[in-house]
Structure 1
């Protein structure tokens, strides 16, 4: 049986913990059509975030997700503006069409609301520049989420190249991303409707998966813009994807390096891996944890593993909450600076694929 003194000490401890624990971050959701919205809806019970509103006009979709995840349909509003007024979120997570990201920032930034979008940042460089100007003017965060940001292997690869300087100066980067195709893997129809639309998504596999390689290459090249961009796209499955490319290869040139981005809806299975070659060795990632490394003194490559904890957080939403509470430093992969270059690369790649000519970046 607890003594009165023990009980009093326990109550004091619980009160102190409650006083020091940060309040849950108030978040709103703009759009539910992106299948990645399941990642946020599936973790609401964790407690570090509280959902205060959803902007979605498709009430059938909202109803299905409400039934699946247990949120109240009273949280669903027809516009972002109404959701901001009534829900008062600190940050908005955009899970709509890529072309609509700019609309979200136009509404949120002037009201001091931070925004995290799913990759890529925008469908055109002009939109990306406008979004950046709004975020900077109103001093709000504008972040872009990629699954690969939270891979421990990518951060270990960066450390091998830059912190340890174990492979010498980078000479070539090759990034592979994609899967069998959005229809083949069973993406929901609301997602497919804009994912396969050249205006709403910007392109097909070129934007859907080319953005990963542009993001990682820009990071590994420590924020350098490439001097030129050349791209080739194909429609290998025009019967399934008549309006967008399903295969894309992008070549980025730098003064002393190249990056090759291979984005595809035609891989035999899903993949997100990369190869980084330096003057004296290489480091290749296999998945989120496994890697292969060979240095100049090695007779053969050797396996390496990196725990997920080498990434800045376990997931984008944990990172967002910590960042806005001042508990972690900004991460380069999600940053506005990196992702402005990403969209510049994608915009140039789309132009190059159309004209058959390299685009020189001024």
Structure 2
């Protein structure tokens, strides 16, 4: 019986998403060991080290020191958005595979820089877009791939919350986050929608970003208070996208607004044959002249999406497969989000260059 290829993993950023979502995935991978951890906050790093059996002498506050002081095969990065680019580039320069939390970067220029570095290093660079790996996402994708929808001509993407604004500066200060809900939750919903659509090429984008409520006290925060003086990102964004194949997409992203739902995180794809909604799996179509409501079922036997995401990353490393979330696709996502912000700033539609 063959043993799986051992993998030595370095963790960069040991906060909530790493501990709650990524660590359980790594603990399920045979032959993988987290051997070093780096976080600017020593206490955070120490708590993670205890939970993951990382020795005390392998706790770092400097990324380069961790890379220089250990024999690693890959890194898993869960740091604030603006920190991603230098950390990804440093890891790729050391010849390591990289899994990085979304957004990979907040500008297309940075994504292209990382894309070139990954190609030069011949290493896997994967954005952690976990929603692609959920059981219902896989079920809907399979339905779409078998032409269940027919030609998809429009998508409606929502990542909107009633009063769940993340309060830490790492989310609400542009110099750290690179954006508000657009880059926080909009990036997830948009990636999922584009993936279900087969990633058509975006060609034109119009959009707007606003601060409607975050500077005041009109809507109480569900996750506590935030520093309104430091808040300098949007709390609402919307965009309309045209694709080269004639399809269109509308995106809404917000942290604070008057709505009934605590959160509406959803994608609807409208096709010539049917409509499907994620994550409910609700399906609307017509058969024999009758209106039919149905449901797409989950793919059975899958682990939680963050774990499946890590399994896919490891499988690509061990089997020599391409990145499960190709950088070319991430580039299209960031191009759209970047264009929404720029359209709002310039007050006009933005024409995109070829995204890939």
- Normalising by the smaller structure, the TM-score range is 0.7 to 0.9
Of 275, 298, 313, 1:306 maps to 298
Matched residue, 1:119: 102
SS class of match (1:224): coil
Q: Given the alignment of the two structures, is residue 318 of structure 1 paired with residue 318 of structure 2, yes or no?
A: no
Instruction: Determine if contact 1:167/1:280 at 8 Å carries over to the other structure.
Output: yes
Of 270, 278, 291, 2:271 maps to 278
Matched residue, 1:262: 252
Give the Cα–Cα distance (whole angstroms) in 1 for the partners of residues 85 and 110 of structure 2: 6
Of 159, 172, 176, 1:196 maps to 172
Of 126, 139, 149, 1:156 maps to 139
Distance 1:158 1:222, change over 3 A: same
1:315 Cα offset (Å)? 2.1
Instruction: Determine if contact 2:239/2:252 at 8 Å carries over to the other structure.
Output: yes
Instruction: Determine if contact 2:10/2:76 at 8 Å carries over to the other structure.
Output: yes
Give the Cα–Cα distance (whole angstroms) in 2 for the partners of residues 27 and 179 of structure 1: 35
Give the Cα–Cα distance (whole angstroms) in 2 for the partners of residues 169 and 128 of structure 1: 30
User: Mind listing any 5+ residue stretches in structure 2 that lack a counterpart?
Assistant: 217-225
User: What is the TM-score with the length of structure 2 in the denominator?
Assistant: 0.84
Distance 1:164 1:136, change over 3 A: same
Superposed CA offset, 1:14-40 (max 9, x none): xxx3xx120442111112245344322
SS class of match (1:209): helix
Q: Given the alignment of the two structures, is residue 220 of structure 1 paired with residue 196 of structure 2, yes or no?
A: yes
Of 111, 129, 133, 1:128 maps to 111
Q: Given the alignment of the two structures, is residue 27 of structure 1 paired with residue 9 of structure 2, yes or no?
A: yes
Of 227, 238, 260, 2:215 maps to 238
Give the Cα–Cα distance (whole angstroms) in 1 for the partners of residues 51 and 237 of structure 2: 36
Q: Given the alignment of the two structures, is residue 166 of structure 1 paired with residue 144 of structure 2, yes or no?
A: no
1:132 Cα offset (Å)? 0.7
Give the Cα–Cα distance (whole angstroms) in 2 for the partners of residues 230 and 32 of structure 1: 37
Of 329, 344, 356, 2:347 maps to 356
Give the Cα–Cα distance (whole angstroms) in 2 for the partners of residues 234 and 309 of structure 1: 42
Give the Cα–Cα distance (whole angstroms) in 2 for the partners of residues 45 and 32 of structure 1: 15
Matched residue, 1:4: none
Give the Cα–Cα distance (whole angstroms) in 2 for the partners of residues 75 and 310 of structure 1: 33
Instruction: Determine if contact 1:166/1:295 at 8 Å carries over to the other structure.
Output: no
1:224 Cα offset (Å)? 2.4
Instruction: Determine if contact 1:174/1:261 at 8 Å carries over to the other structure.
Output: yes
Larger Rg: 1
Distance 1:130 1:43, change over 3 A: closer
How many pairs does the alignment contain? 332
Q: Given the alignment of the two structures, is residue 345 of structure 1 paired with residue 322 of structure 2, yes or no?
A: no
Of 47, 54, 61, 2:37 maps to 54
SS class of match (2:69): helix
Give the Cα–Cα distance (whole angstroms) in 1 for the partners of residues 295 and 347 of structure 2: 40
Matched residue, 2:219: none
Of 236, 255, 263, 1:247 maps to 236
